[in-house]
Amino acid sequence: EAGVAQSPRYKIIEKRQSVAFWCNPISGHATLYWYQQILGQGPKLLIQFQNNGVVDDSQLPKDRFSAERLKGVDSTLKIQPAKLEDSAVYLCASSLDPLTGAEAFFGQGTRLTVV
């Protein structure tokens, strides 16, 4: 079974530039998460999708971050404009149905460095 695919693996941009990350979840997983993991901290949930609808985006800085999941499969996360404090690993995860206790499967992440 193929895992969660993310690209790119690494990205370096200057502050105020824009960047986009892509995620392809495991086939059949309706739930998709985007997390931000700053060095030395636990993953922080940015947004959760159920199919193509948003379940929770309460911690997404909506003035600069946006995410979409068209057709309920692939998802993109965008930052525009980036700030220095956005430097982190951005993790995508997917799950069958969290309401049944199904675990989340994580991609390798995209390491973003903002200089």
Partner 1 sequence: GDSVTQMEGPVTLSEEAFLTINCTYTATGYPSLFWYVQYPGEGLQLLLKATKADDKGSNKGFEATYRKETTSFHLEKGSVQVSDSAVYFCALSDDNDMRFGAGTRLTVKP
Least distance CB 108 / partner 1 (angstroms) = 5
User: Residue 73 or 105: which CB sits closer to partner 1?
Assistant: 105
Tell me the pairing of strands 44-50 and 5-7: unpaired
Determine the interface stretch with partner 1 among 17-25, 39-47, 67-75, 79-87 (rule: CB under 8 A): 39-47
E-assigned strand segments in the chain = 5-7, 10-13, 19-24, 31-37, 44-50, 53-56, 65-68, 75-79, 88-95, 105-106, 110-114
Hey, which residues between 54 and 93 contact partner 1 (CB under 8 A)? 55-56, 91, 93
Binding residues for partner 1 (CB under 8 A): 33, 35, 40-45, 48, 55-56, 91, 93, 95, 98-101, 103-109
